[in-house]
Structure 1
Amino acid sequence: MPGSDRKTITILKALLEAEDGFVSGNRLANELGLSRVSIWSRMEKLRDQGFEFEAVTRKGYRIVKKPEALSSWLTRAYLEDSTIDYELVFLSSIDSTNDHATRLLANDFEAPFFVIANEQTLGRGRMGRQWYSPPSYNLYLSFASTPNVRPDRMQLFTLWMGACIAQHLRNRLNLDIGIKWPNDLYFDQKKLAGMLTEARVDADSIRELVFGLGLNVNQVQDDWPADLKQSAISLREPYGRKLDLNRMAAQLISAISTGYETFISDNIRNDFEDLWPQLDVLQGQFIEAESRDGPVEGIASGLDNHGSLIVKTNKGKLVTLNSGEVHLKRF
């Protein structure tokens, strides 16, 4: 993680691993080649970020409180053992993580990198819709890269990244999370997350790519705006308790990074074909959709090789949708 204070992160990681136990200040000083005063000054820096520590003579230090809101130090400490070496840009508030990532790319910020925010004031979904992004409850992040791949390679990209994220959450939380084509994660017929991929194409190559994720993590039902109470859900609701936002951020950064690297290797098709039937929440459902040629009704029947949705109409005709709005038909 370029640009981070690795010695402070190493101190924090040691304290986290000790859980309720103490970590010797002498041990930390010897392992890191620092003085006890330097160890203490780094811990004071962490105190300013919302951490609380207990110090006991001849025992050392232990954590007694961690920040519940997004913390760059805590997320980086959870990532310390990973192989991720991308820059992480943490922001307390931003208009949109996708927009900020695009601005950084335009100013030649070295990619790949992540933008992670505690709050978005103008969070966006597909078709310019607003994404509800209050502070401290949920995750709002964007991953930016300069992949230099053919445009036709992008047809499965968002669905592949969604599959990687959904599979990680299913394994981690034992929740039956699925994907609603083309870009949403769902649980119990409610929206859990949205994805937004934006790209700049030069000639015959994708030069800049930004993948955005808004994941509802700790929002509680009573706090949803009235227009979202029936359609949105957070992980906290089915999981039954509050989740560690920073641990979740670290895990998703790893999952997204691994998914992207697999995508770049051009080796996703077999894995995607195995994963998709497990995750497709529309399969076999009667749906309504808007296509370029007008409204479509029928049974959702999987994807074609390009990631387009196949719909079998009432007349038995197979229609493929490249994009558009899809809703379950209500009877």
Structure 2
Amino acid sequence: MSKKTPRKREKVVPKLRRPPKDPGLFLLRTLLAAFPQYVSGTYLAQGMKMSRVGVWNRVNNLRMQGLGIDAARNRGYRLTKEPALLNQSLLEAHMDAEQPNCRCVVLQSVDSTNSEAERLLNANRKTPFAVFANQQEKGRGRLGRTWHSPATGNLYLSVAFRPKLPASDLPLTSLWFGLKICHFLRDASGLDVQVKWPNDLLIQKRKMGGMLAEAKIDVDCIQGLVVGIGLNVNSKQKHFPKSLTGKASSFAESAGHALPLHELASGLVRCLIMAYEEYLEGLDFKALQKAWKEVDALQGQAVQVQTGKELLRGIARGIDQTGSLVIRLGNGKLRKLRSADVTLST
């Protein structure tokens, strides 16, 4: 398997300025910035504006939430382990360093993070914001399919925006987000992640995740945009239903070790917000088309395409300027498809 060296990222070290609005957030951000070193209890007490006993109580509360925090006499505290499932406090500490202007909510279970994000948009929640869940009861993918979403250390998240873009931009917007997510995951995991048009994420032809962009459209204008991602991060093969045997896998299975869930989650939000801001500045389609070709899991492959009642077979030839899939049929003609169910021919 082709592997790449994960990109090292600089940590943001908090500075003591004024009493923190949230002492718990200061505690976690400080421990994260110092990891894997210890932070003295005196430093934490001064920064949190509380007694050493108060710091101890905060640490014990985090331990009860599943965080591993080691304490050593004359050395202080250090993080040793993160929970197997997303923790609101730890994720907020990561997010505060990555995207301080994007608020997040972590739910233990929800019907769908996209649906929850849509409800919050309708309730006039300030954007951008992110919705995470450790489990989805009715997770969904393209074409109304169910997304298997157990509480096994995976990522189910949605980020919401109010872009006011032409509705015709939605297909290219989806491809742009998918491309940026793919690049981020390559850097974060060191694995050769590819995109299968329009929104599946693959490693060695096995599905690792997918992206679903849904829009609220009014008078041909996108008033609300929700970008949902489902990623098999730390699942094991035993967690997948038999119907997905040989078809799906996880990043942990491919990498041979678990990935840091909270760092990956906050990094994905940062990736989506940067992709959104870049898109608003103006999309260079030729650059998109070139970059897409480099990660395209279908390029030059024999494919089978179901579009309505029509079944087509041909060779995938990338995307056109509208984001449609281009295939060359057996008779040599090119066919462009805006929506279809595509599988690699066996």
Which band: TM-score by shorter chain? over 0.9
Cα RMSD (Å): 2.0
- How far did residue 292 of structure 1 move? 4.7
Structure 1 Cα separation of the partners of residues 116 and 238 of structure 2? 31
Task: Tell me what 1:184 maps to.
Answer: 200
Q: Could you state the TM-score of these two structures normalised by the residue count of structure 2?
A: 0.88
Structure 1 Cα separation of the partners of residues 138 and 304 of structure 2? 29
Change over 3 Å in CA distance of 1:58–1:171 after alignment to 2: closer
- How far did residue 146 of structure 1 move? 1.3
Identity of aligned residues (%): 39
Q: Matches of residues 186-205 of structure 1 in structure 2 within 5 Å?
A: 186-205=202-221
User: Do the aligned residues in 2 keep the contact of 1:194 with 1:214 (CA within 8 Å)?
Assistant: yes
State which of 293, 297, 316 in structure 1 corresponds to 2:332: 316
Q: Which shows bigger deviation, 106-115 or 319-328?
A: 106-115
Instruction: Structure 1: state its 5+ residue gaps.
Output: none
User: Do the aligned residues in 2 keep the contact of 1:311 with 1:318 (CA within 8 Å)?
Assistant: yes
Say if 2:252 is the partner of 1:236.
yes
Say if 2:240 is the partner of 1:224.
yes
User: Do the aligned residues in 1 keep the contact of 2:98 with 2:266 (CA within 8 Å)?
Assistant: no
- How far did residue 279 of structure 1 move? 0.7
Task: Tell me what 1:261 maps to.
Answer: 277
C-alpha deviations, 1:266-321, integer Å up to 9, x for none?
23535423310111110111111122572221111111001001111111111100
User: Do the aligned residues in 1 keep the contact of 2:117 with 2:158 (CA within 8 Å)?
Assistant: yes
C-alpha deviations, 1:59-107, integer Å up to 9, x for none?
3223344312111222222333324411101101111111111111122
State which of 79, 90, 103 in structure 2 corresponds to 1:74: 90
Task: Tell me what 1:281 maps to.
Answer: 297
Say if 2:210 is the partner of 1:209.
no
Q: Matches of residues 19-30 of structure 1 in structure 2 within 5 Å?
A: 19-30=35-46
Instruction: Structure 2: state its 5+ residue gaps.
Output: 1-19
Task: Tell me what 1:101 maps to.
Answer: 117
Say if 2:173 is the partner of 1:130.
no
Change over 3 Å in CA distance of 1:5–1:163 after alignment to 2: farther
Task: Tell me what 1:53 maps to.
Answer: 69
- How far did residue 205 of structure 1 move? 1.1
Change over 3 Å in CA distance of 1:222–1:44 after alignment to 2: closer
Change over 3 Å in CA distance of 1:221–1:275 after alignment to 2: same
Say if 2:262 is the partner of 1:246.
yes
Q: Which shows bigger deviation, 249-258 or 209-218?
A: 249-258
Aligned letter for 1:55? A
- How far did residue 265 of structure 1 move? 2.1
Task: Tell me what 1:326 maps to.
Answer: 342
Change over 3 Å in CA distance of 1:40–1:270 after alignment to 2: farther
Say if 2:194 is the partner of 1:140.
no
C-alpha deviations, 1:83-135, integer Å up to 9, x for none?
44111011011111111111111222222211000001111111221100010
User: Do the aligned residues in 2 keep the contact of 1:155 with 1:306 (CA within 8 Å)?
Assistant: yes
Structure 2 Cα separation of the partners of residues 34 and 271 of structure 1? 53
Change over 3 Å in CA distance of 1:173–1:65 after alignment to 2: closer
- How far did residue 180 of structure 1 move? 0.5
Q: Could you state the TM-score of these two structures normalised by the residue count of structure 1?
A: 0.92
Count residues in correspondence: 327
User: Do the aligned residues in 2 keep the contact of 1:84 with 1:257 (CA within 8 Å)?
Assistant: no
SS in 2 for 1:267: coil
Say if 2:313 is the partner of 1:307.
no
Aligned letter for 1:192? M
User: Do the aligned residues in 2 keep the contact of 1:84 with 1:254 (CA within 8 Å)?
Assistant: no
Structure 1 Cα separation of the partners of residues 187 and 40 of structure 2? 35
- How far did residue 179 of structure 1 move? 0.5
- How far did residue 250 of structure 1 move? 1.5
- How far did residue 20 of structure 1 move? 4.3
Structure 1 Cα separation of the partners of residues 69 and 190 of structure 2? 33
SS in 2 for 1:227: helix
SS in 2 for 1:248: helix
State which of 154, 159, 178 in structure 1 corresponds to 2:175: 159
Task: Tell me what 1:297 maps to.
Answer: 313
Change over 3 Å in CA distance of 1:135–1:83 after alignment to 2: closer
State which of 36, 39, 50 in structure 1 corresponds to 2:55: 39
